[in-house]
Structure 1
Amino acid sequence: MRSCTMPEHEHVDLQLLLQSLGDYAIFMLDPGGRVMSWNSGAERIKGYSADEVTGRHFSIFYPPEDIAAGRPARGLETAAAEGRFEDEGWRVRKDGTRFWANVVITALRDGEGRLRGFGKVTRDMSERRNAERALDERGRLLAHLVQAQEKERRRIAWDVHDDTIQSMVAVGMRLQLLASQLPGDHAEAVLRLNDTVNAAVGRLRNLAFFLHPPGLDSGGLVDTLSGYLEQVVSTAGLTYDFVPDLDEEPPPETAITVFRICQEALTNVRKHAHASSVRVSLASADQGVHVKVGDDGVGFTDPGDGSSRMGHFGLIEMRERAEISGGWWQLHSSPGEGSTVEFWVPAVRPRRS
């Protein structure tokens, strides 16, 4: 059989063509999955230069959960067995952010049929996916679900504030009046009971605030989150750094989703992290909102995807909120180096019917 070589001028022309295709990440892998070549589109989409990535295994472009599930290896196995493998899913850039990609892996064999490596073509499909989601009925159902949840939270908060708290305040006032009419020892016992009532009132007020912070309906995401940090984090003895960098106010259901995940993350910091400071950043990215909530607390050993702590209900709730909205969520932590909750949710406004 003939060797699959080509004249030198054709090889040069092919290289020029591959480098000019900036909308596609096109590169070669050796039979073990290590990067052998890298075009300008790959650098633009994935963020690595050729020098940074050549020789590294292509699994670095996959999220931790896909690596743990063996998806990179299965892709190569399928391409080697069938000649071609195509997939869509999350991929990871150099800076750790994710994008939705269409990936085609093609097995490359010489004239003797020996596997010499793989050709890999990746296309960033984030804009198409987000545009499709804007037309997807699931997006509309999500908006209705978020609104219904917040309406119920608001109703419960109002009931707690206007009924339960007011009744307990009235009980406290009567206990104080009763204490003023009793002799010393009895008065002291009644006042201790009044202190218990006052403490319960404080906890109920915190509950009402947690259920529905002021401004959540109309104040905007940045103002509401800033107020929450000042009210909750500062009073817990933590310092905080808030870095909002949004191009525009996200749609209401996106703002609520971001706020609720941040709220749960900050609750975990207060209760479990033993931290002295926390940093919250918001950024517009890929037609969505990219968020990081990091602390300088005790941290913990984590395999990379947060699974070591996924039995905790609060972490499950955060992840589910992000994924139901069409986004992603992950947890980074190391012992003694704090923890960071990172997530992205789409912020595409659905078209009005």
Structure 2
Amino acid sequence: MTGKRPAERSATPAPNETAFTLLVTSVLDYGIFMLDPGGYVSTWNAGAERIKGYRAEDIIGRHFSVFYPPEEIAARKPHLELEAAIADGRLEDEGWRIRKDGSRFWANVVITALFDETGELRGFGKVTRDMTERRAAEQELTDRRRLFTHLVQAQELERRRIAWDVHDDSIQAMVAVGMRLQLLADRVGEPYADELSRLDASVREAVGRLRNLTFRLQPPGIDRHGLAESLSQYLTDVVGKWGLETSLVGDLAREPAAETAITAFRIVQEALLNVRKHARARSVRISVTSENRGVLVRVADDGTGNPAASHGLREHFGLMEMRERAETAGGWWTLRSEPGVGTTVEFWLPDLPAGGSDEHLPGTPFGSLGSRSSTQDPR
């Protein structure tokens, strides 16, 4: 009796072994099968049939190289992968594979070498996942980021072109007019001298407004100083002159890509202009932090607040521009406003991966368009 028990036990699979076999053969999202030491298919599950299109009776006994494109068979990739799995214990790879109907799919493949207790190779375990949809989504994201990069670069180039044109044409022409007015005022008597002086003052004010415009249009030098430093400089050079108390908290794990930083700067710039025009605030607080593989920014003022704006009932161009910039970058934008409390603009931008912004417009290094000669303002 005692001599028969081991044989009887080996003939009847244990309950957990039966459950595991049922799991492997029934799972649909993974192709799980075994190869013999020569690379020929010896088992087949339902997931492998769904992914590759072969029924068990069609594929068992055939060499697994049938799943590889002709160019990889010619390069002996199936054999090299088995050799690598034997040497390292396992191999993981992604690449194109072939279904029974000849169509290609993008697969993640793990091959594990199976050795018995004596160290003899008994075969290979192979797990295949169909990653075609994921790869297509990643490609779509890459294309969207590339489009976003070109869009930001084009916007900044156009801003710089307009700034140059305003400075080299409009401002210089108005400066010349102002000089003529001064000369005339010195030569003519009253009452014309006072009138010419008032005209000259109006020209000077217009020149000042145009200079402020060109300053806002110029790229903020983020490629040289970084996002937080560029915002700090803008608060000092521009916002501080509006009579607003400002504070900036920057806590970035790393500097974001140029296009992400430029977009964040422009949204903050527009938010600050809205504070100046509409909020009647005494102070504004800005925070820039790294969050969820992106940049989270808040611009909060202590102004009068506008609850209608937070519900989109009185949305104007500036608000739409901020939201469109954020959403074009693949992020989000919100506005909260309460009477007597103030308004908070908050937005998040995903950061471009390393190397995601290395394509620039032809002949133009991003962030630096080189020098351009211009007539110096004699004023």
Range of TM-score over shorter length: 0.5 to 0.7
Contact 1:276/1:296 (8 A) holds in 2: yes
Change (3 A) 1:274 1:264: same
TM-score by length of 1: 0.60
Structure 2: how far apart are the matches of 1:221 and 1:133?
Answer: 28
Q: What residue in structure 2 maps to residue 348 of structure 1?
A: 352
The residue type paired with residue 348 of structure 1 is L
Cα separation, 1, equivalents of 2:157 and 2:229: 20
Match of 2:335 in 1: 331
SS at 2:159 equivalent: helix
Partner of 1:11: none
With structure 2 as the length reference, what TM-score do the two structures score? 0.56
Q: Which residue of 2 aligns with 1:223?
A: 229
* Separation in structure 1 between the aligned mates of residue 299 and residue 338 of structure 2, nearest angstrom: 15
Deviation of 1:175 after TM superposition, in Å, equals 0.8
1:308 aligned to which of 293, 307, 313? 313
Residue type at the aligned position of 2:165: D
Amino acid at match of 1:308: L
Inter-partner Cα distance in structure 1 for 2:234 and 2:224:
14
The secondary structure found in structure 1 opposite 2:298 is strand
CA distance in 2, matches of 1:256, 1:292: 16
Helix, strand or coil at the partner of 1:308: coil
Match of 1:274 in 2: 280
- Tell me how far apart the structure 2 counterparts of residues 327 and 207 of structure 1 sit (CA, whole Å): 28
Residues 156 and 134 of structure 1: CA distance in aligned 2, closer, same or farther (over 3 Å)? same
Counterparts of 1:255 and 1:301, CA distance in 2:
29
Q: Say if 2:270 is the partner of 1:264.
A: yes
**Percentage of identical aligned residues:** 60
Distance in 1 between residues matched to 2:220 and 2:355, nearest whole Å: 29
Q: CA deviation at 1:218?
A: 3.1
Segments of 4+ in structure 1 off by > 4 A?
Answer: 350-353
When Rg is computed on C-alpha atoms for both structures, the one with the higher figure is 2
- In structure 2, how many angstroms separate the alpha carbons of the residues matched to 1:220 and 1:163? 31
Residue 340 of structure 2: SS of its match in structure 1? coil
Counterparts in 2 of 1:128-207, with a 5 A limit?
132=138, 136-207=142-213
Q: Which residue of 1 aligns with 2:218?
A: 212
Match of 1:255 in 2: 261
- Structure 2's unaligned 5+ residue stretches are 1-133, 359-379
Residues 341 and 160 of structure 1: CA distance in aligned 2, closer, same or farther (over 3 Å) = same
* 221 and 134 in structure 1: CA distance in 2 versus 1, 3 angstrom threshold: farther
Q: Which residue of 2 aligns with 1:71?
A: none
The equivalent of 2:87 in structure 1 is: none
Q: Look up the match of 1:292.
A: 298
Report the AA paired with residue 317 of structure 2.
Answer: F
Q: Is the 8 A contact 2:156 2:219 kept in 1?
A: no
Q: Which residue, 267, 279, 289 being the options, matches 1:283?
A: 289
State how far apart, in whole Å, the 1-side matches of 2:284 and 2:139 are: 33
CA shift digits 1:26-75 (9 cap, x unpaired) = xxxxxxxxxxxxxxxxxxxxxxxxxxxxxxxxxxxxxxxxxxxxxxxxxx
Question: Alpha-carbon deviations, 1:254-294, whole Å to 9, x = none?
Answer: 01110010000000000000000000100000110000000
* C-alpha spacing 1:211/1:135, structure 2 compared with 1 (3 Å): same
Alpha-carbon distance in structure 2 between the residues aligned to 1:185 and 1:242: 52
DSSP-derived class of the 2:336 partner: strand
Q: Deviation of residue 174 (structure 1)?
A: 1.3
| 1:117-166 Cα distance to aligned partner (Å, 9 max, x none) | xxxxxxxxxxx99x948952010011001000100000100111122111
Please state how far the C-alpha of 1:225 moved relative to its aligned partner.
1.1
Partner of 2:44: none
